[in-house]
Structure 1
Amino acid sequence: MPGSSGSASVGGVPGRASVGGSAAVGGARVPGSSGSASVGSARPGVPGRAAVGGAAVGGAAVGGAAVGGAAVGGAPVGRAVPGRASVRPVSPAGPGDSGPGGAGPGRRSRSAGSMDPEAAKRAKRRKIANWSIAAFAVVIMTAGIGIVGLTYAFDDVPDINTFEPEISTIAYADGSEMTKLGEHNRTVVPDEKITPLVKHAVAAAEDKGFYDHSGIDMKGIARAAWNNISGGDTQGASTITQQYARHAAELTGINYNRKIREALLARKIEDNYDKDQIISLYLNAIWFGRGAEGIEAAAKAYFNKTVTKMPGEEGALTASEAAVLASVIKQPEPVQGGHQGYDPARNPEAAKERWAYTLNNMAEKGWITAEERAKAEFPEKSLAKYDPNACQAECVNNKPVGHVLNYVKDELAEMGITDWQQRPYKIKVSINPAMQKAAEDAASRKSKSSPMSKTAENHQAALVAINPTNGQVLAYYGGDDGAGFDFAGRNGGHPPGSTFKMYTLAAGLREGMSMESYWDSTKNVDEERGGREISNAGREDPACGKYCSLEKMTIDSFNVPFYWMTKDMGPDKVVAVARDAGVRTMWTNDDEEINLAEVEPTAVAPSKFDVEVGFGQYKVKVIEHVNGLATLANRGDYNKAHFVVSVEKKNSATGEWVKVNGEQIKPEKKFDTEQIDSMLKVLQKIPGASDGNDHSLAGDRPAFAKSGTWELGKEGGTNGDAWYLGATTQIAAGVWVGTSGARAAIKDPDGSDMYGGDTPGQIWEDFMNAANKAAKYKVESFPEGSSVGDPSVLANGVSPSPKAPETPDNQNPNPNGSPSCEPFDFNCLFGNNGGNNGGGNNNGGGNNQTPSPTPTDGLPVLPGVPGGGGPGNDDDD
């Protein structure tokens, strides 16, 4: 086609010239070459394709093969680009004006006068680039020309209709299938039925020179090789043809063999298909996010439209909508800790920026007019709503275990695995199916065997169980609706009440306190804070007076000692212990969420978490609180609570499943073992502390526990949250009971106020017995705790003397040291405290005064005192 320097159209494909018979195209540019390629006779019968003879690379022939246009094994691997071949005109500066190659027509002779400094620099850079590519070609040829030839000869182009995506699966700890993860949806559309608007948008976004090149980006390949050698970033495919070759062959790993194979397959694709067919294959194959494999599924997922409608037809995609779809391809979904992708529902700002880039390129290439570009608006109104966490396939979102999926997805993202909807994975999680059933049977209102089945309809429970030795979550119940509100963690927290006193004790022990210390229960007013009263929720003061042992105060769960303990050492010490144990999230009285992993305790306590943190005023997540419990059960060694145990990915070449990631158990010593043992020695007395509410486990299995309750406060005056946390050496489990919807009073089935030792305690006991039976765990004991610390540290009480103090004639001495007991007042004499030893009411383990104690409305909030008051007081348990 003599004299042609424009772009000819062949069969509607822009940028392709028909070459019939023999055509000599002088100075044709071969992608990847920096010199002048001599193009011989055109390949007979193939329109627009010219057979490349001995192409020169930087002016040097390498093994008779041209990089970017080499004939390998007798097969042409490259072609000149018709419509772009031209001889550059001589510039006004005269013959020898610098061009893109060496000396020759239109180029300055190296001996012709002095060279402009900038031109010299450009020439030097070209020379270096040419030699780099030549060197890479030598490596390719010497490393295995036979392999390359065989690869080209025998690598068939996969048929798009044979693509059957495999779905990732999640398995329980025993290997049985829990669910399938994600959705694959593909409808293959013939190339002639795909609107050209979409093809042009995708070319503009991914490869705007697509219609002009021969399918291989040699500079990109050389760059990838250099980065592999130099340790730089790995490089992906650049042209659309290479991207399709990589996707179709499912080539994995960034290495020379893959890049060579990818390039050769791309050339074979270019030899067998025209540009219109290639981009259609690409569009039918690639991943767009939202469960969409291919462009037709993507059009429906993002705009509820089809790509088969041509411009002007009703319901056809607009240029703006096509640009959104094209823009998503670069990264459909977020990367943990990195870019959040280009789906407008996930990352609207980045999506709009890339959308504008795509439209600008469409205008530059003439695929839309400048006027159309100027009028284009981002199609927010036509975008389909999308919830990334919604169930998108056969899944378990309608079951309680559905809540686990959200954690699994988060953990996969933390591992860098974000393509689980594109590639098949096998993911094993820690949930034990038998224990999960036990949790649902014990905590769900739908279970007839659950204590919850007889409570009011608005009552809700949550239960989490963790293996203390490794942090694996064994069972998780956050509600019956796996797609609804998760009461166990992801959607908020609850005031933990006296269960938080475990951390207060651990903080005191860190400060040198002893579990054998004594406390003054009569010191129930803080004069330094304007006479603030330290309430025990209306209960009578314990009879031990100034001689109360910390053991008794812990088992009976009186607030007064814990108030002074926290104030004297500082509330930040309690927050620090909670954080170290596993509590990472707390809420202030104003419902401000604080991430304890990102702030120092001194920065938030007492400014946001005041002294009341010592007995559980501030909301926490159930799963994190149980993680803290597990740390204590593991004698001070912390393991992060997690669900994913192992991840396997299918090797596309062999079909074998290969482990690519899994849990990394790294215990962290957070607390002194002897200190924790001394505390657990006391806490082991709580499950069986009350004859009327005994939660001792079957088979005399040793366990420790702590119950807690928090009032409604200003919202009503009765209890709004009740907890029971307890553990053996093998299972740490926690139960919360409150209400769904608006926070309201919680009642036991008999209508009495619910305490931690009542319904929550019974749920815990039922679950633990069933779980231990299902797992066939042996009965194990905790090590015997010993006395540690100094009884005088923090303590404000008086140790009873060996000789009982003098008392009036009409009173009998109290073994606990109180001088105020009436004759034959056995509750006083033996420190029974009204039966309030196990938590709960009269036949639920405590608080059997008649009438029931009058609930308080919370500690008074004093001017300038942060954290005072709050939603209510710990009622005990």
Structure 2
Amino acid sequence: MGRAEERRARQRGGHRAAPKRRRSEPAAAGKPPKSLLRRMFTWKKILGTVFGVCLLAILGFVGLYLYVDIPEGNAAARQQSNVYKFSDGTLLARSGKVNREIVDLSKVPRKVQLTFVAAENKSFYSDSGVDFKGTARGLLNTLRGRGKQGGSTITQQYVKNYYLNQDQTVTRKLKELVISLKVDREKSKDDILAGYINTSYYGRNAYGIQAAAQAYFGIDAEDLSVEQGAYLAALLQAPSQYDWAVATDTGKRLVTERWNYVLDNMVEEGWLTKAQRTAMHFPEIKEPKRAPGLDGQKGYLVELANQQLEQQLMAQEGLTQSQAENAVEGKGWTITLNIDRKKQAALEKAVRSELTSKLDKTKRKVDGDIQPGAVSVDPETGKIVALYGGQNYYEHWTSNATRRDYQPASTFKPVILAAALEREATTQAGKPITANTVYDGDNRRPVLDHGRPVGFAPPNEDEQDYGKITVQEAMNKSVNSVFAQMGVDVGMDDVMSTASSLGMDTKGMPAVPAQTLGSMGASPLEMAGIYATFANHGHKVTPTIIKSAENQGRTVDMPDPVGGTVLSRTAADTVTSVLTGVVDDGTAKVSVADNPLRDGQQVAGKTGTSDENRSAWFTGYTPDLVTSVGLFGEDPKTHGHVSMEGATGLLPGRGRINGGGYPAQIWAAYTFGVTDRSAFELDTTQGAAVAPPPPPSSSAPPTPSTTPSQTPSQTPSETPSHTPSQTPSETPSRTPSHTPSQTPSQTPTTGLPTEPTTEEPPDPDDDGHFGHLGQ
């Protein structure tokens, strides 16, 4: 039925339906059928799909936003180097796996801050922390395998550096987007900028702006100029390529263009005037240097600084040892030491010139066993101004300045005298113990406790008898038998208590007479502190190496190195006075008193040489400087204690390394080159430094030098032969203090102690060996 017939049928009200067209019938001419593709992708379906995808994306992003939290900063981004400085602020060393020192933004000049904004993200202060267009471009390029393309904000770069990593994945980029939005909402722009400039890599192994300022300009971040800041900001685009010292001509051209771009942007933003910009010139870049490591003495200085800071954190914050170590190592501390650069250099030079230059382990095996250590302290302030821990930290990790496993030997004798003076102790006969008190100085004299032997009879050096001898002379000649008896007279508990109050670690040490020989362990650091307390008139000195310690704006208050009185001034000054006799008329005479560099400088000190010549000491001081020098015999393989006899080629039989030899020589070469000329101000009437009263008319006029034997406290029978200090140019061995028949035994001999229990070769022998030192 045609269409006309159908129309007529409808008009007649007929109900006959038009027959259906068979599927095989062709469509009416001029109306082709719709393709499957057109039927599937109608505009309605496309709009609906786009809308659905957008909705899913929004919902997905909302879910991601809710799901992703701001994480902890990654471990690498938190790692920092500790920076150590000399007392004058110059760089000493930097330690840590990462060369980074985080600085507060307030320490970076404002216009230097703006150079980074101008270089990377001019809209930083007004944007939401995200560049959606740049991020979308980066996502698309990542999906297409084109690597890193597309810009990002400072916030996004900070998030990537600090919270994430440098991986180029869709997941990481999505996380970066979400975390950046959250960080921008939760942190201030200053915090974000500070994080960015402190975590970015600038080349030359420098992470963060402080390390970069040091690496490229040799200055701190707070001293950067705008031109220098613009260079560092330009570097971030290609640190290695833009490093002026190694850049190609192309690299130099590109970094110059980038530098100009940064400054021009600052003018455009109103952060610089055109006149200021015109006046700026490309900065001078320093040649790269190897980061200051821990070689030489640096490691020993850093190690002690870390230990003292850890101890303070434990005391101040209640941390455990492990927690304190974790809080210090590689945590970005800036630690300024009390170490004086000039004194440190002088101490190192003295050790080298007086000892290590003479050691040759290829010729003499024993030379490889010699380990020197020294600590120098300002007694008025308690500051450690110089320290020698060993020939090289990388070759000998144990610091000889702080090790406590060697005997201090006769350098302990002044502690016994201090205990006697402080407690107003008396002899067995009830006489006060003073510098002028007479003791029996015979060899192996049994020590008595109110008439009862205590089972201890120490030998003197070379089995020498001294007969009746004053405490002053006994200190000069380091007579063991006298100080062993004095220790029992005072009471060994009181002696060890005095040692503890002066700064010696006596925990676990038995209070027995053998300790009078200095048979306990002690370090040069401890001995320097004890003698500094003598020098500071009895005020306790606890030597400290740290001047200040800061960490990200936080400062740790270090305790005052000088404490209260632990020894009366009279007692301390008397010890000092007595110890001037050791230098002028005793075992340190040749190396110190007669040293041409002395130039009249007043000196107090004590030598010490331990059993079997395993250690040798000289601890001495002027009014402004206390220095303890120790030499230790250590087997380099087993680290056991060994004899130093024969080191540097000393002749067989005369080869002991004595306290009056190399230790005293090192002390003199160092001290006389750096000390200020001054005299002791002593509140005492005793000791070698005190002018004697007028002698009886029958006596010969005294020489300018003083001697305990000239004091009225001695009986006539004790005094006639006591004249050692009246002849300062002579050694003690030439001025016997007992009968003529004993004179020959007082000449210096060269044998080792006959008993293995002998504490030291008391130091008359030190002078006898001096003529052969260095041969």
Instruction: Name the TM-score class by shorter chain.
Output: 0.5 to 0.7
Aligned pair partner of 1:550 in 436, 451, 471: 471
Out of 479, 491, 510, which is 1:605 matched to? 510
Is the Cα contact below 8 Å between 2:82 and 2:332 reproduced in 1? yes
Aligned residue type for 2:405 = G
Residues 206-605 of structure 1 correspond to what in structure 2 (within 5 A)? 248=162, 268=182, 394-416=291-313, 419=327, 424-444=332-352, 456-483=367-394, 484-512=396-424, 513-522=433-442, 524-526=445-447, 528-529=452-453, 532-542=456-466, 545=467, 547-584=468-505, 596=506, 599=507, 604-605=509-510
Gaps of 5+ in 2: 1-48, 101-157, 165-177, 187-194, 208-289, 314-323, 425-432, 688-710, 725-731, 767-775
Superposed CA offset, 1:69-117 (max 9, x none):
xxxxxxxxx97779xxxxxxxxxxxxxxxxxxxxxxxxxxxxxxxxxxx
Could you say what the CA RMSD is over the residues aligned between the two structures, in angstroms?
5.0
With over 3 angstroms needed to count, the CA separation of the structure-2 counterparts of 1:800 and 1:780, relative to structure 1, is closer
TM-aligned CA deviation for residue 514 of structure 1: 2.3
Partner of 1:647, secondary structure, is: strand
- Alpha-carbon distance, 1:799 to partner: 9.2
Distance 1:817 1:664 in 2: 44
CA positional deviation for 1:428: 0.8
Q: State the partner residue of 2:643.
A: 744
Quote how far apart the aligned CAs of 1:397 are.
2.8
SS of the equivalent of 1:480 reads coil
Task: Give the TM-score normalised by structure 2.
Answer: 0.53
Q: How does 1:27-176 map to 2 (within 5 A)?
A: 45-50=57-62, 167-176=81-90
Secondary structure of the equivalent of 1:48?
Answer: helix
Distance 1:645 1:405 in 2: 13
1:103 matched residue in structure 2: none
SS of the equivalent of 1:635 reads: coil
* Aligned-partner SS, 1:170: strand
1:685 is the counterpart of 2:581: yes
Equivalent residue for 1:342? none
Q: Which structure has the larger Rg?
A: 2
Which residue matches 1:312?
none
CA contact (8 A) 2:721 2:739 kept: no
Matched, 1:710 2:610: yes
Deviation at 1:536, TM superposition (A): 0.2
Q: Which amino acid aligns with 2:60?
A: G
Alignment counterpart, residue 531 of structure 2, candidates 593, 606, 629: 629
Tell me how far apart the structure 2 counterparts of residues 425 and 403 of structure 1 sit (CA, whole Å).
17
Equivalent pairs: percent with the same residue?
Answer: 18
Q: Separation in 2 of the partners of 1:574 and 1:662?
A: 30
Alpha-carbon displacement from aligned partner over 1:573-609 (angstroms, at most 9, x marks no partner): 222222211222xxxxxxxxxxx3xx4xxx7433xxx
Q: Which moved more, 1:519-528 or 1:162-171?
A: 162-171
Match of 1:755 in 2: 658
Decide whether aligned partners of structure 1 residues 420 and 478 sit closer, same or farther in structure 2, where only a CA change above 3 A counts: closer
Is 1:720–1:745's contact at 8 Å kept on the other side of the alignment?
Answer: yes
Q: Distance in 2 between matches of 1:161 and 1:564?
A: 62
Could you tell me whether the CA contact under 8 Å between 1:503 and 1:577 is conserved in 2? yes
- Structure 1: segments with no counterpart, 5+ residues: 1-18, 24-41, 52-77, 83-155, 187-243, 251-263, 273-280, 294-392, 585-595, 652-657, 713-718, 789-797, 806-812, 819-825, 860-868
Give the superposition deviation at 1:177. 0.8
1:749, distance to aligned residue in structure 2 (A): 4.6
Q: Does 1:675 align with 2:571?
A: yes
Q: CA deviation at 1:692?
A: 6.7
Q: Does 1:701 align with 2:601?
A: yes
Q: Give the corresponding residue for 1:831.
A: 737
- Counterpart for residue 518 of structure 2: 616
Structure 1 or 2: larger helix share? Answer: 2
Deviation at 1:800, TM superposition (A): 7.8
Task: Name the structure 2 match of 1:207.
Answer: none
Deviations 1:545-583 (A, max 9, x none): 3x4211111111111111111123322222222221122
| Correspondence 1:179 to 2:93 | yes
Q: Whole-Å Cα distance in 1 between the matches of residues 620 and 331 of structure 2? A: 41
Distance 2:391 2:414 in 1: 30
8 Å contact from structure 1 (residues 401, 477) kept in 2: no
- Residue 550 of structure 2 corresponds to 648
Change in 2 beyond 3 A, CA 1:738/1:249: closer
Per the TM alignment, residue 723 of structure 1 is displaced from its structure 2 partner at its CA by 0.9
Q: What residue number does 2:669 align with?
A: 766
CA contact (8 A) 1:428 1:645 kept: yes
1:210 maps to which residue? none
Structure 2 equivalent of residue 257 of structure 1? none
State the one-letter code of the partner of 1:643: I
How far residue 510 of structure 1 moved from its aligned partner, in angstroms, is: 2.0
Q: Does 1:781 align with 2:680?
A: yes
Residue type at the aligned position of 2:750: S
CA deviation vs aligned residue, 1:399-418 (integer Å, no higher than 9, x gap): 12321111122233334475
Deviations 1:482-512 (A, max 9, x none): 1324352444421111110011111111220
Amino acid at match of 2:601: R
Letter of the structure 2 residue corresponding to residue 637 of structure 1: H
Matched ranges for 1:783-862 at <5 A: 783-787=682-686, 803-804=716-717, 814-816=720-722, 830-831=736-737, 848-849=747-748, 852-853=750-751, 855-859=753-757
In structure 2, relative to structure 1, the CA distance for the partners of 1:249 and 1:529 (3 Å cut) is same
Q: Distance in 2 between matches of 1:745 and 1:165?
A: 44
Corresponding residue number in structure 2 for 1:324: none
Letter paired with 1:518? V
Using the TM superposition, give the Cα deviation of residue 828 of structure 1 relative to its aligned residue in structure 2, in angstroms: 8.7
- TM-superposed CA distance for 1:429, in Å, is 0.5
Question: 2: distance between equivalents of 1:438 and 1:661?
Answer: 30
SS across alignment from 2:616: strand
Q: TM-score, normalised by structure 1?
A: 0.47
In structure 2, what is the Cα distance between the partners aligned to 1:829 and 1:450? 33
Residue identity in the other structure for 2:413: K
Residues 430-475 of structure 1: per-residue CA shift (max 9 Å, x gap):
1112111221122247977779999934333211111112221111
Distance 2:463 2:657 in 1: 15
Amino acid at match of 2:465: D
Match of 1:125 in 2: none
Give the residue type in structure 1 aligned to 2:489: D
